[in-house]
Structure 1
């Protein structure tokens, strides 16, 4: 899975809006066929998304392109997948599921329509959305139930499906979802999925709150966020990237340690910290990730 610091929802039936998302600097777009598309526009949404996907891929080869399908319980999932399972697509965002069995059912649908639509078998990946008590309870099984599962999205939205299912009351500080988010990160990291995602921040008037939310999630181990507005793209990309200060700090740590090793030592005091081989592994990981994102110095 490619690094995705920012994934912006785009209503699938709104032609041309995806390019506006790309112009904001997103790492990926989620062409939505679910909640942002009115019931009477589902068919039009599928047609528009099917047209948008190859156009986006041609114009933006490095962009992450995903489609959020309708939940299994709607009976619309198969129609969505049939219309948009295309070679240029990266995968599907899976909403409102209740356990690994649902993921396997969708896997079977995607396998069928990959074959029918001429897509190489097994190439379309999944980002399951943890939006129910059952999904959070089984998240460790969900992340391992299919090789298509690339990561998990830990939903925390106010007054939405997840808060209704679990019964928490949203606060900007996020204490009520700390356990849930931590559980999702652990499930991902323990199973080799290095890019756990979270979101969304709904208060578009509170930019400081959005930044605090992103920074807290970065501290927990998340690598990116789902977004509902382009104004938060730059913020998310910055928070979920190693900063220039980080890169300088860890680069100089490696230099100091290498000098100590050349002098026959296996540890060094750097910026008041004890540094040994374990710390250097972390430093090298940060530098490598910055280079992968193109933000290294």
Structure 2
């Protein structure tokens, strides 16, 4: 998956909002067919999402377009996938999954649709939203279920599915979800998924609280956030973009190590720090991330 710092949800039945979302500078938009769409508007939303995908694809917009279909238990996912697996879709955010078997079955459907529609095989990614106790307990197996899995999303907002399923009370400090969020990062990294996505902050007016929340998730190992309000995009992109000062520091570190290596040394004193190959690799990772997000 490309290194999305920000992924902004857009209600699928509100076609003009997709263009407004793109204008925020978000790295990706998620056209939603699930929770933000009233039951009476599901069919309308499906048609509107397809129109939005086609329009944005034709415009060659910078932001990637993802779709959140309805969950399998609703009986609506089949029609959703049949409609939205079209050119211009980068991936599907899967809600309320339970285990690896779910992912394997959905992958088979998407593969069939790609084949019958002459779309590149395996190009449409799957972002797994862990919103059930079962999915949290099985996140490692789910991350490894199929090559199409691009990342995991750890939703932590108050009064949402995860909190109800597990019975915790949300706090901005996040101690009640620290184990879960850490496990999601570990499941991603252990399976070669280097861009875990955090979320969701629901207090749209508390921007200072959101910034702290985003920074806490970055420190924990997350590399981007799923967002429900445009006002969060700029903050998110800032928080998850390595600063120029940090990048320059790591460039100097890499150069210092390479110079020492060329002289036959495996370690060197760099600006008061003892560094070796492990530190140089970490530095190169930060530089690569900075270059990647600047190209999104």
Match of 1:129 in 2: 129
- Answer whether contact 1:155 1:198 (CA < 8 A) is retained: yes
Which residues of 2 match residues 52-131 of structure 1 at below 5 A? 52-131=52-131
Distance in 2 (CA, whole Å) between partners of 1:58 and 1:3 is 23
CA contact (8 A) 1:266 1:277 kept: yes
Question: How much has 1:255 moved relative to structure 2?
Answer: 2.6
> Which residue in 1 is equivalent to 2:28?
28
Q: Is 2:156–2:200's contact at 8 Å kept on the other side of the alignment? A: yes
Match of 2:43 in 1: 43
Decide which moves more: 210-219 or 100-109.
100-109
Deviation of the 1:61 alpha carbon: 4.7
Most deviating of 263-272 and 211-220: 263-272
| Cα-to-partner distance string for 1:101-158 (whole Å, 9 max, x where unaligned) | 2212222322333344443333221101001110010000001111211111011111
Pairing of 1:1-297 with structure 2 (within 5 A)? 1-294=1-294
Contact residue 3 and residue 289 of structure 2 kept, 8 A: no
Secondary structure of 1:121's match? Answer: coil
- Paired residues in the alignment total 295
| 1:263 CA displacement | 4.2
CA distance in structure 2 between the aligned counterparts of 1:262 and 1:165, rounded to whole angstroms: 56
Q: Distance in 1 between matches of 2:278 and 2:114?
A: 43
CA displacement 1:168-216 (0-9 Å, x = unmatched): 1100000100100111111110111111101011111211111111111
Residue 256 of structure 1 and its aligned partner are, at CA, apart by 2.5
Counterpart CA distance in 2 for 1:112 and 1:261 is 51
User: Which sits farther off after the overlay, 109-118 or 135-144?
Assistant: 109-118
Which secondary structure does the structure 2 equivalent of 1:4 belong to? coil
RMSD: 1.5
Q: Distance in 2 between matches of 1:81 and 1:158?
A: 29
- Once the two structures are superposed, residues 10-59 of structure 1 have per-residue CA deviations (whole angstroms, 9 ceiling, x without a partner) of 00010111111111100000000000111111111111111111221232
Can you list the C-alpha shifts for 1:264-294, whole angstroms capped at 9, x where unaligned? Answer: 4322222321111110111111112211222
Decide whether the 8 Å contact of 1:2 with 1:64 is kept in 2. no
3-state secondary structure, aligned to 1:16: helix
Quick one: structure 1 residues 261 and 105, their matched pair in 2 at CA, closer, same or farther if it must change by over 3 Å?
Answer: closer
TM-score of the pair, normalised by structure 1? 0.95
Q: Secondary structure at the match of 1:163?
A: helix
Q: 1:70 Cα shift?
A: 0.3
**Aligned residues of 2:4 and 2:293 also touching (Cα < 8 A):** no
Once the 2 structures are TM-superposed, how far is the Cα of residue 88 of structure 1 from its aligned partner? 1.4
Distance 2:117 2:258 in 1: 53
Q: Quick check: 1:57–1:63 contact (8 Å CA) kept in 2?
A: no
Q: Which runs of 5+ in 1 are unaligned?
A: none
User: Matches of 2:83 and 2:262 in 1, distance apart?
Assistant: 60
Cα distance in structure 1, aligned partners of 2:23 and 2:105: 36
Tell me, yes or no, if the aligned pair for 2:6 and 2:226 is still in contact at 8 Å: yes
